[in-house]
Amino acid sequence: MDHRPGQSAARDDRFRLGLVGAGRMGRTHLDAIKTLHGVSVEAVAEPREEARAALVHDGVRTFESLEEMLGHCELDGLLVAAPTGVHLETVRRAMAAGLPVLCEKPCGLTVAEATECAKVTEEAGGTLQVAYWRRFVPRLQELRARIARGELGDILAVDCQQWDASPPPVEFRAGSGGILVDMGVHEFDQVRWLTGQEFGPVKVAVSRVGASAGDPDCAQIVAELDGGSTAAVSLGRWHPAGDSCKVEVFGTRATESIWFLEPVTGDAVFLEALRRQVEDFARSVSSGEGSGATVTDAVEALKVAEMAGEAVSEAS
Ligand SMILES: NC(=O)c1ccc[n+]([C@@H]2O[C@H](COP(=O)([O-])OP(=O)(O)OC[C@H]3O[C@@H](n4cnc5c(N)ncnc54)[C@H](O)[C@@H]3O)[C@@H](O)[C@H]2O)c1
CATH number, residue 31:
3.40.50.720
pLDDT of residue 12: 66
Residue 205 lies in a domain: yes
Question: Is residue 311 domain-shared with residue 181, that is, in the same domain?
Answer: yes
Question: Is residue 210 domain-shared with residue 236, that is, in the same domain?
Answer: yes
**What are 242-263's pLDDT values in tens digits?**
999 999 999 999 999 999 999 9
Question: Is residue 68 domain-shared with residue 142, that is, in the same domain?
Answer: no
Question: Is residue 34 domain-shared with residue 125, that is, in the same domain?
Answer: yes
Question: Is residue 80 domain-shared with residue 165, that is, in the same domain?
Answer: no
Cis peptide before 263 (omega within 30 of 0): no
Residue 245 lies in a domain: yes
- Strand duo 77-80 + 101-104: pairing: parallel
Of all atoms in ligand 1, which is nearest to the CA of residue 270?
3
* Ligand 1 contacts CB of residue 22 (under 6 A): yes
Mutate to test the pocket of ligand 1, among 20, 104, 162 (most ligand atoms within 8 A of CB): 104
Compute, in angstroms, the gap from residue 64 CA to the centroid of ligand 1. Answer: 15
Of all atoms in ligand 1, which is nearest to the CA of residue 86?
31
Task: Among 101-110, 209-218, 281-290, name the most confident range.
Answer: 101-110
* Ligand 1 contacts CB of residue 55 (under 6 A): no
Question: Is residue 73 domain-shared with residue 185, that is, in the same domain?
Answer: no
Question: Is residue 130 domain-shared with residue 167, that is, in the same domain?
Answer: no
* Pairwise CA distance, residues 83 & 66, whole Å: 13
Residue 185 lies in a domain: yes
Of 200, 199, 183, which Cα lies nearest the Cα of 191?
Answer: 199
Q: Identify whether the C-beta of residue 159 lies closer than 8 Å to the C-beta of residue 199.
A: no
Using alpha carbons, list the distances in angstroms from residue 31 to 26, 68, 74, 82.
9, 23, 22, 16
Residue 287 lies in a domain: yes
Helix (H, G, I), strand (E, B) or coil at 61: strand
Tell me the percentage of the chain whose pLDDT exceeds 70.
Answer: 96
Residue 8 lies in a domain: no
Residue 2 lies in a domain: no
Residue 14 has pLDDT above 80, yes or no: yes
Residue 5 has pLDDT above 60, yes or no: no
Question: Is residue 41 domain-shared with residue 78, that is, in the same domain?
Answer: yes
Per-residue pLDDT band at 10 (split at 50, 70, 90): very low
Compute, in angstroms, the gap from residue 27 CA to the centroid of ligand 1. Answer: 9
- The residue range of the domain holding 307 is 137-263+300-315
Question: Is residue 61 domain-shared with residue 152, that is, in the same domain?
Answer: no
* Pairwise CA distance, residues 184 & 31, whole Å: 25
* Ligand 1 contacts CB of residue 33 (under 6 A): no
The residue whose CA has the least distance to atom 18 of ligand 1 is 23
Mean pLDDT, residues 280-292 taken together: 95
Q: Which of 90-99, 107-116, 135-144, 204-213 has the lowest mean pLDDT?
A: 204-213
In single-letter form, the type of residue at position 89 comes to: E
Look at the pTM and tell me if it is higher than 0.85. yes
Using alpha carbons, list the distances in angstroms from residue 30 to 39, 90, 163, 275.
11, 19, 24, 10
Residue 9 lies in a domain: no
Question: Is residue 225 domain-shared with residue 149, that is, in the same domain?
Answer: yes
* Pairwise CA distance, residues 28 & 159, whole Å: 27
Number of domains in the chain: 2
Q: Identify whether the C-beta of residue 182 lies closer than 8 Å to the C-beta of residue 303.
A: no
Question: Is residue 29 domain-shared with residue 153, that is, in the same domain?
Answer: no
Residue 2 has pLDDT above 60, yes or no: no
Mean pLDDT, residues 216-227 taken together: 98
Of all atoms in ligand 1, which is nearest to the CA of residue 23?
21
Q: What is the CATH number of the domain that holds 311?
A: 3.30.360.10
Residue 4 lies in a domain: no
Question: Is residue 125 domain-shared with residue 95, that is, in the same domain?
Answer: yes
Backbone angles phi and psi of 264, in degrees to 5: -80, -45
